[in-house]
Structure 1
């Protein structure tokens, strides 16, 4: 047991200071600071003694002081230019929210807090807020969020590669392979006239989905590029038009789950029985896919692991390391929208 000298005022209620701890340990204030910050080497035995005394004395380093010394505030951000119409899902528990929940847990294990930035024009409402780094979820080509944070010299990593920016570390979501998996499934289920509903925003997930459809589909002209802003409604309207104009369509590949929800509504309205007369698949296995009637065949993108990888990449980027990693291969989840019972 270490002898801990009395510190503070006479009533014993004041908090011990770094100077109190330095005197108790018989070292300089600078040595104590380095023992907690890790910015300079401190003899292991000395560091151990300092930490033991700090625990006995009830000393805790000031988070504000640490931030001033390191130039960091211990907060990272998660942001996306995807509108809530496609990113949030029912009850706002969609793609972006699932990544945020897992990223927040991963960040805490590294003593970082996660701030979720709701989708809105870059800089609006947070231009004055500083972050140690930011994770961007599926940014577009020339995404204003990239420009905003680069201007502020904020380290960036992305979930999904950034089109035209191989220099930005990313978790590659393997979107081309995912689209090919879904299209192959439709073909194996007997679909010969497949249409595609793909987001018009130039995100890697949509660019690679379009490329896969044009390569693999028997009729690549049945491709619609839809606005993310309109979400389910545009999926509904365009599917109504598609099925009325071309009743031979027997499969729909929706690269955005909000579009898939709209396609299901349209099929029901036209009396097209799913999956007997029409099969529908979508990319993201979220609440929309699970709660749909019938439930939608989708893909498990392993988002908790993706979020963990993104936080790890950002931590490395903050420390000066830059690299891109590939996500685990997504897994097909077959449900009633394509499987005839």
Structure 2
């Protein structure tokens, strides 16, 4: 027989408190005097006591697991980017969750509906859902608390604000500073809040500079190829276009291909900029001007907000992310 494993009763006896106090002290719940908590923690350490995660789960009814779900199609969130945007969020979210004693289940972009009903999770973070996103609807129907990264259009869900209007301004003003006078907006055909905000910023920008607005939409599910097709048609109909602001990095790669196929040069003839400073932007030829969205901070904030809501802590339900930062690269930089 191996050594007898110490129990919560042993810790309670050694610390001179009740088993309930031991449970609250070690799990960070309830009101426990700091000196008592310290005595309990010390007694547990001396005895080598380790709480049973399975027993904790049975008592609390919690899995101590949260889910991270992407609402973007594989063609955008996957491919050459190695799930760049999604995995950048996942890495920071996993770290923040782990430090609070929670595990993170990653539900990657799939060609089929993800098996959300089979997930044993206490809450979920959904990345930039579309207006009619089925993921949030299914989670809500199960009563799963949700926090989104980026608001969901038409819904009042707790979320982290990625500062979409500011991002749009950074891109458009930079393109104009680089000499562009006929900037086209290439965006997805869905109704993500990011698209709506960008379209509004673009419309105001066009009016301010007496620039005829030119907005082209492409199907997200087609990824780079639909971006290329939309841009090729755009350049055919509007040869005076000298800059393309792509809302999605996969579309930006398609735009780069369309410009080259037309025999034009980047950035001398057409400048291309995109929203997300990820793998695609950094490895494209030419490299793409993009925006640092502070995704790691957004992910950490989303996890903290979700955990606060799970505990019933009263906190602001909208968190504003830090200022985005423009990263200028070859696709817009002349000379």
* TM-score category of the 2 structures, normalised to the smaller one: over 0.9
Quote the Cα distance in structure 1 between the aligned partners of 2:331 and 2:151: 30
Paired position in structure 2 for 1:177: 166
Pick the aligned partner of 1:186 from 175, 195, 201: 175
Pick the aligned partner of 1:117 from 107, 110, 116: 107
Paired position in structure 1 for 2:325: 331
Q: CA deviation at 1:45?
A: 4.0
Quote the Cα distance in structure 2 between the aligned partners of 1:67 and 1:37: 12
Checking the alignment, whether the CA contact within 8 Å between 2:228 and 2:255 is kept in structure 1 is yes
Checking the alignment, whether the CA contact within 8 Å between 2:246 and 2:274 is kept in structure 1 is yes
Paired position in structure 1 for 2:42: 52
Please tell me whether residue 154 in structure 1 is matched to residue 148 in structure 2.
no
Checking the alignment, whether the CA contact within 8 Å between 1:89 and 1:258 is kept in structure 2 is no
What does the per-residue CA deviation read over 1:60-116, in whole Å, with 9 as the maximum and x for residues that have no partner? 111111122222111111112111211235252411111111111111111111111
Superposed, which structure 2 residues align to 1:193-272 within 5 Å? 193-217=182-206, 218-272=210-264
RMSD (Å) for aligned C-alpha atoms: 1.9
Quote the Cα distance in structure 2 between the aligned partners of 1:31 and 1:296: 57
Checking the alignment, whether the CA contact within 8 Å between 1:77 and 1:131 is kept in structure 2 is yes
Paired position in structure 2 for 1:126: 116
Paired position in structure 1 for 2:93: 103
Checking the alignment, whether the CA contact within 8 Å between 1:84 and 1:92 is kept in structure 2 is no
What does the per-residue CA deviation read over 1:207-253, in whole Å, with 9 as the maximum and x for residues that have no partner? 11111122213445421111110010001111112112221111101
Quote the Cα distance in structure 2 between the aligned partners of 1:128 and 1:285: 34
Paired position in structure 2 for 1:318: 310
**Structure 1 length-normalised TM:** 0.91
Please tell me whether residue 33 in structure 1 is matched to residue 51 in structure 2.
no
Q: CA deviation at 1:187?
A: 1.3
Quote the Cα distance in structure 1 between the aligned partners of 2:112 and 2:205: 37
Please tell me whether residue 296 in structure 1 is matched to residue 288 in structure 2.
yes
Quote the Cα distance in structure 2 between the aligned partners of 1:273 and 1:169: 44
Checking the alignment, whether the CA contact within 8 Å between 2:178 and 2:334 is kept in structure 1 is no
Larger Rg: 1
Pick the aligned partner of 2:54 from 60, 64, 74: 64
Please tell me whether residue 141 in structure 1 is matched to residue 135 in structure 2.
no
**Residues 234/319 of structure 1: CA separation in 2 closer, same or farther (3 Å cut):** same
**Residues 178/47 of structure 1: CA separation in 2 closer, same or farther (3 Å cut):** closer
Aligned residues: 330
Paired position in structure 2 for 1:4: none
Checking the alignment, whether the CA contact within 8 Å between 1:280 and 1:338 is kept in structure 2 is yes
The DSSP-based 3-state class of the residue aligned with 2:329 is coil
The DSSP-based 3-state class of the residue aligned with 1:141 is coil
**Structure 2 length-normalised TM:** 0.92
